[in-house]
C-alpha cells in the first residue's frame, strides 16, 4: 500500500532532507577534523586555499589582504567559508535525496523504488570526490605529520573517499529512520508521534556530531598559527642571536605541521644518478656544520622586524647532492615541504658550502614552527627560499616555480642591503644636549656588512656608527651611534649600510612586491629642552 501524503508533505520532505543532509555533513566534517588532528591529513576545505593561493597573482593577493585586514584573517575566512560551503552542499544533497525518494515512492507505491535515489546520491557524491581529486591533485601530497608525498597523496584520497561514503550512508540512514518504511513521515495518528520521536533521535545525533566536531575544531584552533604568524623581532633590546621563541615567523598555513620524525624522510630525486633518502638520524650521523645566518622575509618593509638571526646546525646540502650525483641538464633545485609548500633555487646555490639542511637552531632541536625535523638554509636569499619541513629535493630540467613564485614574486630573490633603527623608543621625546645611543641592525645577505652610517640632518652629512656586533658575514650586525642633539624640534634621522663588497645600500625606495623593499630607514626624533 502506498504511503499517504497530506498537504504538508513537500515541506516535510525539505525538513527531513535538510536535517539528514546537515547530520551527514557534520559526520563528514568530524572525520576530516579527526584525520587532520591525528593523521595530519589536510581536508579539502584547507587544500582549496593551497591550490588557489599561488594562482591569485600579486595584485589580487594584496587586494585580498587589504580587504580582510591581513593574511591570518584571509586564511581564516578561506577555511571558514569552505567549511560552511561544505555544510551547505551537504544540506542541499540531503534535500535532493529526500525529494527524489519521495517522488520515487509516490510513483511506485513501494519503498523498494526509493533505493534508486540512494544510487543517484552515491553517484553524485562519488563524482564530487573524483572532481575534488582531479582539482586538488597538485596539493594532495600534503601531510602535516610528515608522510612522503606519494604516501600522503594516497592517504588523503582514501580519507576523502571514506568521509564521502560516510556522508552518503548517514544521509540515507537518517532519512530511513525518520521516514520509517515509507519515503516520508505519514500525517496521521500514532505514526506521527513515532516519527517525531525518530526525528528527535536524528536531531540528537546531529547535535552530538556538532559538539564532537566543535571539540575537534577547538583542539585544531589551539594549534593554529594565528597566535604567532607574522611575529616580528624589533624594538629596543634586540639581541645578536635571536631567541628561538622570538624569531620572526611567516607561514602560509592555518595550522603548521607537527612532524613525527619516525614517519619523515628527506628524499633527493629527479635528474640524479642515484635517488637518496635520509632519516633524521642519518643527518645527525653526518659531520655537523654550525653556522650563524640571518633570515629575512621578502615581505619585510624597510625598517620592519620580519628578520632574525640564529646559529644553525646541519649538514651540507652539497654533500647530499654529490651523493646523489646530479645529471647533465639540471636547471634548478625544486624543494618541497610536508605542508605542500615548494620553492626553487639554482644548482650552483645548492652546491655552495654555506647552503645547509639544518636540524638544530641555537643549540636546540629545530622548533616545530621553524621547520622540525629539518629545513633548508640558503644564505643570501629571502626567507621563502629557506624551506621549512623539507621532505623532498628534486633536480629538474626546467624553470620551475614555487608557491609564491607562481603568484608573481621575483624573479630576483637576493636580499638587498638593509639597515634600520631599533632604539631608543622615539615615541618618547629626547632632551637637547643629552647624549642618546641610537642603535639598530644592518644586514646584507651573504655579502657581510662593512660599514654603517647615520645622518642626523636628513642626509646632508653622514657619520660612522660603531659596529657593536659582527659575528658572521652571513648575519646581521648590531650598530651604535652616540648622538647629542643640539637643537629642539622634529629632527629626521637616516641610516645606511655598505656591504662587504663595498657597495652602498640602495637609497631608491621600492615596494615589497615583487622583489623585496629597498630604501633608507627614516625616523623622526622629538627633541625638547
Neighbours of 451 (CB within 10 A): 19
Nearest to 229 by CA among 207, 248, 203, 211: 248
Residue 185 has pLDDT above 70, yes or no: no
Nearest to 310 by CA among 372, 250, 244, 236: 244
State the sign of the Cα–Cα–Cα–Cα dihedral 407, 411, 412, 413: positive
Q: Give tens-digit pLDDT for 36-85.
A: 999 999 999 999 999 999 999 999 999 999 999 999 999 999 999 999 99
Nearest to 483 by CA among 523, 520, 444: 523
3-class DSSP assignment, residue 27: helix
Average pLDDT of the chain to the nearest whole number: 93
Residue 111 has pLDDT above 90, yes or no: no
| Residue that is written with C-alpha cell 589580487 in the block | 60
d(CA 102, CA 14): 10
Residue 15 has pLDDT above 80, yes or no: yes
Average pLDDT score over residue span 229-249: 97
Q: Measured over all CA atoms, what is the biggest interatomic distance in the chain, rounded to whole angstroms?
A: 103
Least confident piece of the model among 2-6, 149-153, 316-320, 392-396? 2-6
Nearest to 476 by CA among 349, 311, 237, 290: 311
Q: What would the grid cell of residue 88 be?
A: 551547505
Question: What CA–CA distances, in Å, run from 153 to 42, 45, 275, 475?
Answer: 10, 16, 20, 38
Q: What percent of the chain has pLDDT over 90?
A: 87
Q: Give tens-digit pLDDT for 470-525.
A: 999 999 999 999 999 999 999 999 999 999 999 999 999 999 999 999 999 999 99
Question: What CA–CA distances, in Å, run from 215 to 98, 172, 222?
Answer: 30, 25, 11
3-class DSSP assignment, residue 429: coil
d(CA 378, CA 353): 10
| Predicted pLDDT at 116 | 82
pLDDT interval class at 113 (50, 70, 90): low
Could you tell me which residue, 437 or 110, shows the higher pLDDT? 437
3-class DSSP assignment, residue 327: coil
The DSSP line for 423-437 is: ES-TTSPEETT--EE
pLDDT interval class at 259 (50, 70, 90): very high
3-class DSSP assignment, residue 190: helix
Q: φ, ψ for residue 487 (rounded to 5)?
A: -145, 160
Neighbours of 442 (CB within 10 A): 27
Q: Give tens-digit pLDDT for 263-310.
A: 999 999 999 999 999 999 999 999 999 999 999 999 999 999 999 999
pLDDT interval class at 7 (50, 70, 90): very low
d(CA 418, CA 301): 10
| Predicted pLDDT at 5 | 46
Q: Give tens-digit pLDDT for 203-219.
A: 999 999 999 999 999 99
| Predicted pLDDT at 199 | 86
pLDDT interval class at 429 (50, 70, 90): very high
3-class DSSP assignment, residue 64: helix
Least confident piece of the model among 201-205, 246-250, 257-261, 396-400? 201-205
pLDDT interval class at 193 (50, 70, 90): low
Q: Give tens-digit pLDDT for 154-173.
A: 999 999 999 999 999 999 99
| Predicted pLDDT at 1 | 42
Q: Was domain 418-528 assigned CATH 3.40.50.2020?
A: no
Q: φ, ψ for residue 176 (rounded to 5)?
A: -65, -40
Class of the CATH-defined domain 244-407: alpha beta
Identify the H or E element spanning 391.
Answer: strand 390-396
255: which strand partners? 224
Domain limits, the chain: 9-223, 244-407, 418-528
The DSSP line for 333-378 is: EEEEETTS-EEEE-HHHHTSTT-EEEEEETTEEPPGGGTTT-EEE-
Residue 89 has pLDDT above 50, yes or no: yes
Residue 524 near residue 426 (C-beta atoms within 8 A) = yes
Q: What is the CA angle 293-512-472, rounded to 5?
A: 15
pLDDT interval class at 179 (50, 70, 90): confident
Could you tell me which residue, 499 or 181, shows the higher pLDDT? 499
Amino acid at each position: 500500500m502506498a504511503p499517504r501524503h497530506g498537504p504538508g508533505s513537500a515541506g516535510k520532505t525539505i525538513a527531513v532532507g535538510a536535517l539528514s543532509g546537515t547530520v551527514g555533513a557534520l559526520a563528514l566534517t568530524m572525520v576530516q577534523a579527526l584525520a587532520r588532528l591525528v593523521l595530519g591529513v589536510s581536508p579539502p576545505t584547507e587544500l582549496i586555499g593551497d591550490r588557489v593561493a599561488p594562482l591569485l597573482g600579486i595584485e589580487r593577493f594584496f587586494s585580498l589582504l587589504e580587504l580582510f585586514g591581513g593574511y591570518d584573517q584571509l586564511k581564516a575566512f578561506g577555511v571558514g567559508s569552505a567549511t560552511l560551503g561544505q555544510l551547505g552542499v551537504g544540506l542541499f544533497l540531503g534535500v535532493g535525496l529526500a525529494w527524489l525518494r519521495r517522488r520515487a515512492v509516490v510513483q511506485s507505491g513501494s519503498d523498494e523504488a526509493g533505493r534508486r535515489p540512494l544510487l543517484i546520491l552515491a553517484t553524485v557524491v562519488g563524482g564530487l570526490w573524483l572532481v575534488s581529486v582531479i582539482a586538488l591533485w597538485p596539493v594532495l601530497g600534503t601531510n602535516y605529520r610528515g608522510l612522503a608525498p606519494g604516501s600522503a597523496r594516497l592517504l588523503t584520497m582514501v580519507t576523502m573517499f571514506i568521509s564521502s561514503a560516510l556522508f552518503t550512508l548517514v544521509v540515507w540512514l537518517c532519512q530511513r529512520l525518520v521516514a520509517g518504511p515509507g519515503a516520508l513521515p505519514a500525517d496521521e495518528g500514532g505514526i506521527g508521534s513515532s516519527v517525531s520521536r525518530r526525528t528527535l533521535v536524528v536531531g540528537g545525533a546531529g547535535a552530538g556530531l556538532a559538539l564532537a566536531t566543535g571539540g575537534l575544531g577547538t583542539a585544531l584552533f589551539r594549534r593554529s598559527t594565528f597566535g604567532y604568524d607574522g611575529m616580528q623581532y624589533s624594538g629596543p633590546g634586540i639581541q645578536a642571536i635571536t631567541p628561538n621563541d622570538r624569531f620572526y615567523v611567516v607561514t602560509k598555513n592555518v595550522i603548521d605541521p607537527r612532524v613525527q620524525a619516525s614517519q619523515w624522510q628527506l628524499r633527493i630525486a629527479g635528474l640524479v644518478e642515484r635517488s637518496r633518502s635520509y632519516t633524521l638520524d642519518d643527518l645527525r650521523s653526518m659531520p655537523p656544520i654550525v653556522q650563524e645566518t640571518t633570515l629575512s622575509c621578502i615581505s619585510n618593509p624597510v625598517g620592519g622586524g620580519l628578520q632574525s638571526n640564529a646559529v644553525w646546525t646541519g649538514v651540507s646540502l652539497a654533500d647530499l647532492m654529490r651523493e646523489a650525483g646530479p645529471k647533465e641538464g639540471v636547471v634548478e633545485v625544486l624543494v618541497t615541504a610536508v605542508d605542500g609548500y615548494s620553492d626553487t633555487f639554482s644548482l650552483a646555490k645548492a652546491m655552495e658550502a654555506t647552503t645547509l639542511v639544518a636540524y638544530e637552531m641555537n643549540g636546540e632541536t629545530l622548533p616545530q614552527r621553524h621547520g622540525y625535523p629539518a629545513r633548508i638554509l640558503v644564505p643570501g636569499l629571502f626567507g621563502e627560499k629557506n624551506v621549512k619541513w623539507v621532505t623532498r629535493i628534486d633536480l629538474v630540467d626546467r624553470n620551475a616555480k614555487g608557491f609564491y613564485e607562481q603568484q608573481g614574486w621575483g624573479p630576483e630573490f637576493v636580499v638587498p642591503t638593509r639597515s634600520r633603527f631599533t632604539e631608543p623608543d622615539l615615541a618618547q621625546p629626547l632632551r637637547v644636549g643629552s647624549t642618546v645611543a641610537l642603535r639598530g641592525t644592518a644586514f646584507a645577505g651573504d655579502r657581510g656588512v662593512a660599514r654603517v652610517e647615520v645622518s642626523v640632518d636628513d642626509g646632508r652629512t653622514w657619520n660612522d656608527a660603531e659596529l657593536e656586533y659582527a659575528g658572521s658575514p652571513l648575519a646581521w650586525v648590531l650598530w651604535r651611534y652616540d648622538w647629542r642633539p643640539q637643537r629642539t624640534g622634529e629632527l629626521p634621522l637616516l641610516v645606511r649600510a655598505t656591504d662587504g663588497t663595498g657597495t652602498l645600500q640602495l637609497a631608491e625606495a621600492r615596494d615589497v612586491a615583487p622583489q623585496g623593499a629597498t630604501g633608507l630607514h627614516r625616523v623622526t626624533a622629538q627633541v625638547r629642552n
